[in-house]
């Protein structure tokens, strides 16, 4: 069974998203939380998912899925040469292997049987890509493969990230999202994230901007 922690000032609405609540305990009647027992419902469809933490043995599969989901998300909106340069650096086997070995980072696959539906990367401490949020956990990557989008896999991964932050007694869960990725921004807003800063970065040779967003975990 996958244990999922929900902050006490959050309750689940029928869509499975956390919304502010004055209740002293989380309300977990939502059908979405049947994911805890390995079954997740999205609409009228039943999807059986499992979450698995990754290790060195998963290097090749992780590298391939990381590149696949990145290209599916960003290739159409960026110049090919910039995408090629970025992917070569970010998803090389050596780079991914080093990230897997980092004790302050954790990777998870969400799986439907033997099929990987998506993945999650969490950073704490010095592994975080920004140090401006105190007592926090970073969602550096959260991706769902195209054929599994709309199944609830993304929501399940986000719930797991919230759970991990809560179990670690952290105050914040935060992430950066490209300001042109409207679909992702809406996803995070529905999860309860709010914008708090911006960060400029290079996609190849093109200067772009991330919106930094955070979610309060403890309510403090």
Residue 40 annotated among the catalytic residues of the structure: no
Instruction: Catalytic residue, from 86, 119, 188, 202: name it.
Output: 188
Which of 141-152 are b and which e, b meaning 16 or more Cβ less than 10 Å from the residue's Cβ? bbbbbeebeebb
pLDDT of residue 217 exceeding 90, the answer is: yes
CA distances from 36 to 30, 32, 77, 143 (A): 11, 9, 36, 20
What is residue 23's predicted lDDT score, i.e. its pLDDT? 33
Instruction: Encode pLDDT of 172-184 as tens digits.
Output: 999 999 999 999 9
Mean pLDDT of the chain: 83
Query: Which token pair is 70?
Result: 């990145």
Of 118, 96, 103, the C-alpha closest to 52 is 118
What is residue 48's predicted lDDT score, i.e. its pLDDT? 81
Angle at CA of residue 16, ends 13 and 22, nearest 5°: 40
What is residue 140's predicted lDDT score, i.e. its pLDDT? 98
Range name among 44-53, 96-105, 128-137, 191-200 with the lowest pLDDT average: 44-53
pLDDT of residue 28 exceeding 90, the answer is: no
pLDDT of residue 94 exceeding 70, the answer is: yes
- In order, the DSSP letters of 162-176 are HHHHHHTT-SEEEEE
CA distances from 212 to 121, 145, 161, 196 (A): 16, 23, 16, 6
Residue 5 lies in a domain: no
Residue 108 lies in a domain: yes
- In order, the DSSP letters of 2-67 are ------TTEEE-TTS-EEE---SS----SGGGGGGGTEEEETTEEEE-EEEE--GGGHHHHHHHHH
Mean pLDDT of 190-209: 95
Residue 1 lies in a domain: no
Range name among 47-51, 60-64, 106-110, 155-159 with the lowest pLDDT average: 47-51
Structural domain harbouring 110? 10-216
Is the four-CA dihedral 178, 181, 182, 185 of positive or negative sign?
negative
Give the count of domains, the chain: 1
Residue 4 lies in a domain: no
Measure CA 207 to chain center.
24
Query: Which token pair is 196?
Result: 């708090």
Yes or no: say if 79 and 204 are a contact pair by the CB < 8 Å rule.
yes
Instruction: Encode pLDDT of 52-85 as tens digits.
Output: 999 999 999 999 999 999 999 999 999 999 999 9
Determine the Cα–Cα distance for residues 9 and 176; give it in Å rounded to an integer: 24
Residue 144 lies in a domain: yes
Residue 3 lies in a domain: no
Instruction: Encode pLDDT of 128-185 as tens digits.
Output: 999 999 999 999 999 999 999 999 999 999 999 999 999 999 999 999 999 999 999 9
Mean pLDDT of 24-32: 30
What is residue 15's predicted lDDT score, i.e. its pLDDT? 36
Where residue 176 sits, what CATH number does that domain have? 3.40.630.30
Residue 204 lies in a domain: yes
Residue 50 lies in a domain: yes
């Amino acid at each position: 069974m996958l244990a999922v922690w929900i902050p006490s000032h959050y309750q689940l609405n029928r869509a499975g998203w956390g919304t502010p609540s004055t209740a002293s305990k989380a309300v977990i009647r939502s059908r979405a939380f049947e994911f805890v027992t390995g079954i997740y419902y999205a609409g009228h469809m039943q999807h059986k998912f499992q979450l698995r933490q990754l290790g060195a043995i998963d290097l090749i599969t992780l590298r391939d899925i990381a590149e696949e989901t990145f290209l599916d998300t960003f290739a159409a909106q960026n110049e090919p040469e910039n995408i090629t340069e970025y992917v070569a650096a970010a998803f090389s086997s050596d780079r991914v292997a080093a990230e897997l070995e980092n004790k302050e980072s954790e990777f998870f696959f969400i799986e439907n049987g033997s099929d990987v539906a998506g993945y999650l990367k969490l950073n704490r401490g010095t592994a975080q890509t920004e140090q401006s949020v105190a007592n926090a956990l970073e969602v550096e990557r959260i991706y769902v493969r195209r054929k599994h989008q709309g199944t609830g896999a993304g929501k399940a991964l986000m719930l797991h990230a919230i759970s991990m932050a809560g179990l670690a007694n952290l105050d914040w869960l935060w992430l950066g999202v490209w300001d042109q990725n409207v679909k992702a921004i809406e996803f995070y807003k529905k999860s309860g994230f709010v914008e708090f800063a911006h960060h400029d970065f290079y996609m190849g040779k093109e200067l772009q901007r991330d919106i930094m967003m955070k979610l309060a975990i403890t309510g403090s």
